Homo-oligomer: A and B are copies of this chain.
Amino acid sequence: MTQSNSRTYRLGEIVAKLGGELIGAPDIEIRRLATLESAGPGDLSFVTHAKYLRELSNTRASALILARAHKGATTLPRILCDDPYLYYARAAQLLNSEARPSPGIHPQAVIETGAEIAASAAVGPFCHVGRGARLGERVVVGPSCTIGDDAQIGDDGRLGPSVTIYPRCAIGKRVIIHAGAVIGADGFGLAPEAGRWIKIPQTGRVVIGDDVEIGANTTIDRGALDDTVIEDGVKLDNQIQIGHNVRVGAHTAMAACAGVAGSTRIGKHCAIGGAARIMGHIEIADHVTITATTFVTKSIRNAGTYTAVLPAEPAREWARTLAHLRSLERVSKRVHELETRSKPSTRKKR
């Protein structure tokens, strides 16, 4: 997260590690990635779309990442590649290898007996790790986290501050969880009895695969009986809500504030837009895109893009649209009347 511990790389080194065709001096030192607008000497910038090419003339970047097709768009030192956005991601990873805290358990952490914490793991101050919990190699746990009894965090996991992992939840390898996320709180299970709600114990777990990222203040409920499952490579943004017994398929990404109600199964490689909502007890196929703010009310069997979005309008225009929407019944009747009136005359002609 911080750049302070990063070292510089020469252009030649970057290309040696990440590929691409270098046009320019390989010994130019690169300090960081930057946008075209804010780049200065020592910065490597990039163009992800032709429409930004006109900004090239103003950039102060020391070098650029460009698509091969844009080879001639500048005389600055440049790396040509197939996918500049992906190359930028890789280069940023290279230049911003995060500073890892020193291994060890902070003296102000409380570790219950029977917890197993790898010697290479780092546990921050004010963390509580329950009985039987297991933290893998190189796991980093930020301050004030709670890891419940018998919970597991796989190798190279990283938890931000104030994350809660409820008991028995199982988290895979290389999982990143940002501050305030809550994994494994009780699902919303209630049975009605004479106007009151009887709580149904939530005895399933949350099981999270490898290479998952979970945003700040996101909540994933434990299953009622069976588990809630987040498969490998899933990326969840901030403030997402995943209900009990949901399954999110591998490599699906969800933008912030999306919500999935209980027992729904979402396919692999889906893209769920921000604040989209998905009803409970339905199934979404693989490779489905749901646009931001859309509400999915029934199962989707085929890949494709699904939406139901009303874009904002000036209030006066919207008031008219809404009035027309409410007069639809009347318009329909008027059309019917016109048809009736016009048909008899037609009949007469026969």
Contact = CB atoms under 8 A, between A and B. Distances in A.
Contact of A144 (B126, B222, B294, B331): B126
B219 A238 contact: yes
A89 B241 CA distance: 24
Number of copies of this chain that the complex holds: 3
A226 B125 CA distance: 30
Given A110-B108, A143-B146, A274-B277, A3 B203 contact: yes
Q: Of A198, A203, A216, which is in contact with the most chain B CB atoms at under 10 Å from its CB?
A: A216
B328 A324 contact: yes
A2 B178 contact: no
A324 B320 contact: no
Interface residues of A, number: 134
A167 B251 CA distance: 29
Interface of A: 1-4, 32-35, 37-38, 83, 85-86, 88-90, 92-93, 95-96, 98, 106, 108, 110, 124-126, 128, 142-144, 146, 148-150, 160-162, 164, 166-168, 176, 178-180, 182, 185-186, 188-193, 195-203, 211, 213, 215-217, 219, 221-222, 225-226, 233, 235, 237-239, 241, 243, 251, 253, 255-257, 259, 261, 269, 274-275, 277, 279, 290-298, 300, 304-315, 318, 320-322, 324-329, 331-332, 334-335, 338-339, 341-342, 346
